[in-house]
Structure 1
């Protein structure tokens, strides 16, 4: 597996964990089209690599992501003025393709949220399997206050926290911090300082390592299908997947490790 070359992301492979750092600190890691394309390339390059079990997304310079890049909007405006009627559609939809890919990524997605977690950054938080936030992180959907809409983000916010709360956040643009994000169900854990944040991340990664890699992949695919397929169809396939897991290498190793009171082979 070869990771793509990136300009806006720092990539660090640490055993079974790929750390992806959004690296445009001068703009609070605003998400440019280049960053969107690079994230998609990274997701694609590792999705079939079973040796990589978790992807950790965080931002450089004390911020996660302040939303979309205004320069890209200006570029789309120029294209539209030159006759490209789909310029805005293409730009916006590309972000939606990226966040959909992130949502469906078979590895565990962990977001470490500091500083600005706005717009597109908020969207990434809402598709993560585990979200850990600094208490002082600032969350919000500022789009409507700018005269635009959270077009590709709103559906994922609804899935994350429900329609009632999503309506309030999207239609008021209010900003709030880590503990409110925890109460709303956007994040799973809040840390009071950098040391606590790092400890929470390390504990999460230890927990992921205790889970069998393929079992995690199949389980994530299962839970993402809830509400998308008839329940009986979903449960029929889940039973087949369960039988395959029990009879597979992971199931046999997990059972043997339990009986022998030792860590499973994947717990490293």
Structure 2
């Protein structure tokens, strides 16, 4: 079990833990939680710290001040411009952009169930972060979009994750037109899974999602998420062979035996009762 109390993170994020649920708040409300390099590094630090911690079953990503994330921090870009000029090289831009992509990939591959609560601005890098969540719940009036091309740049690191989320056809339209759209449209596109009409409904949907996460066996959830990721990249026959081995281990393991017994006895399994 990781000890979050010993983890020193930048104040661009805040951590709250309730039992097996960790909430990671993006905490730069003055800039609509625009993503600075410090924030990117802090998010990576947290996910690296908890990667092997099976006591943390879900990570909730939220933004302070009524916004999720308005994209990259323009102030950081100005600093990079000076750094690149001094170095006589574009490498500072490359390093900054690639670091963001590494963070997005890390969140995407996290063994925990990642839930994104989307309010206000969900733009650029914030849109990318939403696209790597396992469960996305949005306010109806949240504003989504990929504004990069209108700024003369491109959604370099998030593009693959957007395509995986909504498909190439829709991703091309959104990225090339720089469209803005609300939570209802995000639901139709498949960016988000549920939409709430007010704050109370948003909190209720989050609470219901957390309860469902707690009903799922911790190790089975982690193994299932890893298996789902592999379906996109591996040959089917070898993947199914390996999945059969994992199934057998699960059935014969502690969770499989407890889950089966709980079903027969018409009760909650122990992992669901621990936090009742």
User: For residues 134-145 of structure 1, what are the structure 2 equivalents within 5 Å?
Assistant: 134-145=139-150
Q: Deviations over 1:98-127 (max 9, x none)?
A: 000000000000000000000010001100
Name the structure 1 match of 2:137.
132
Match of 1:32 in 2: 36
> What secondary structure does 1:57 align onto?
strand
Tell me what 2:8 maps to: 5
CA distance in 1, matches of 2:207, 2:270: 19
Please tell me whether residue 112 in structure 1 is matched to residue 117 in structure 2: yes
Aligned pairs (5 A) from 1:107-256? 107-256=112-261
Deviations 1:68-118 (A, max 9, x none): 001111111111101143100000000000000000000000000000000
| Match for residue 76 of structure 2 among 61, 72, 76 | 72
Deviation at 1:2, TM superposition (A): 2.3
Runs of 4+ with >6 A deviation: none
Structure 2's unaligned 5+ residue stretches are: none
SS at match of 1:224: helix
Structure 1 unmatched ranges of 5 or more: none
- Using the alignment, how far apart are the partners of 2:35 and 2:239 within structure 1? 36
Q: Distance in 1 between matches of 2:222 and 2:8?
A: 26
Aligned length: 268
User: What is the distance in 2 between the residues matched to 1:30 and 1:257?
Assistant: 46
Distance in 2 (CA, whole Å) between partners of 1:227 and 1:141 is 24
SS in 2 for 1:266: helix
Question: Cα RMSD between the aligned structures?
Answer: 0.6
Q: Give 3-state SS (helix, strand or coil) of 1:52's partner.
A: coil
* CA distance in 1: counterparts of 2:61 and 2:232, whole angstroms: 27
* 1:45 corresponds to 2:49: yes
Distance in 2, matches of 1:107 and 1:26, equals 29
Shift of 1:226: 1.1
Q: TM-score, normalised by structure 1?
A: 0.99
Alpha-carbon distance between aligned partners in 1 of 2:217 and 2:254, rounded to the nearest angstrom: 10
Task: Tell me, yes or no, if structure 1 residue 259 matches structure 2 residue 264.
Answer: yes
Deviations 1:167-219 (A, max 9, x none): 00000001000000000000000000000000000000000000000000000
User: Residue in 2 aligned with 1:102?
Assistant: 107
Q: Distance in 1 between matches of 2:185 and 2:8?
A: 37
